[in-house]
Amino acid sequence: MPDKTPLTYKDAGVDIDAGNEVVSRIGRLVQSTPRSGVLSDLGGFGGLFALPGGLTDPVLVSGTDGVGTKLKIAFATGSHHTVGIDLVAMCVNDVITTGARPLFFLDYFATGALSPDQAESVIAGIAEGCRQAGCALLGGETAEMPGFYADGEYDMAGFAVGVVERAKIVTGAQIAAGDRVVGLASTGVHSNGFSLARKALLEVAGLALDAQPATLTRSVGETLLEPTRIYSRAVSALCDGVNVKGLAHITGGGLVENPPRILAPGLGMELRLSSWEVGPIFGLIAEAGVDDDEMRRTFNMGVGLAAVVSAGDVAEALRLAEAAGETAWDIGCVVQTPGVAPAVTFLP
């Protein structure tokens, strides 16, 4: 006769008690990201947020993203506390290119078998990212999906919302030939191009994640896991202090494909390669056989965000960015390219 023992959700691979433990631990992390406007507590079916007062014609700006195959480095090293920062950064840095101030963030975390310690480490990083961005961690979802992910692995996505006055939206429409490009330093590879970075460093170059080549100050794994820089406070300072005409987040597509997204037809950018610092991790990737063109269209090459301002505002923009804690450079200019689609030209 068949076994009459009742079949449970846990028998199918889903541990409700572990899920409840994660929710319990997340509570204090959510409380560490306070922001005026939050109207709900963790545990409800939806997060409530009231728009800030004093706005004349507010426009909401939203963005969603993930961390990509950078997660493979976290799995291999067992270090999960920084990829949550990456998740927030990838969403928030897109939203702020409109001049918006981040308001709140939500996350989705999915795994095959829920480990409260691992999930808490990841979400602690998300909370840290929210604190850096100045937004509230409003809520999220933790999903346990047996058989869907390899043991110890997970995936996650995020969603950020910000607000900007309609009259102050940064669109790129004001950009003209002669304007200058201010570059804000990245912290390394950020969260793009990791499929190529892993192929070049780990397979072609044969480097171990715990190896420390002479050009690096930390191991390969630690260098790759350096979290994406969050630029929200610097962008707020720039938008309050000068006329920011355009903002480009240097993500997938690198320095080749992202700056043209804010340029009108007939305009291009000339960027001077000698004007900013390129981190040593990019040199190691290039040494594995990736040519200059591929490097520049895949990676940020040391510039995580580009801001376009009038030539007369460059000095003040650099001062404001540095006062906000960023390393910034005047890296190039906007030029006329009649009849040609917007493109970036690299000068020595």
Confidence (pLDDT) at 330: 98
Helix extents (H) in 189-279:
194-198, 220-224, 232-241, 254-257
Confidence (pLDDT) at 23: 75
Partners of 328 in the β-ladder? 184
Confidence (pLDDT) at 82: 98
Helix extents (H) in the chain:
16-31, 70-77, 83-95, 116-133, 194-198, 220-224, 232-241, 254-257, 280-287, 292-298, 314-323
Burial class (CB in 10 A: 0-12, 13-18, 19+), 272: middle
pTM comes to 0.95
**What's the pLDDT tens digit per position in 320-340?**
999 999 999 999 999 999 888
Confidence (pLDDT) at 12: 78
Domain 16-168: top CATH class: alpha beta
41/154 Cα distance (integer angstroms):
26
257/296 Cα distance (integer angstroms):
9
**Domain 180-347, second-level architecture:** Alpha-Beta Complex (3.90)
Confidence (pLDDT) at 27: 78
Confidence (pLDDT) at 3: 61
**What's the pLDDT tens digit per position in 174-185?**
999 999 999 999
Confidence (pLDDT) at 338: 84
Low-confidence ranges of the chain (pLDDT < 70): 1-3
Domain assignments of the chain as residue spans, ordered by start: 16-168, 180-347
Confidence (pLDDT) at 2: 58
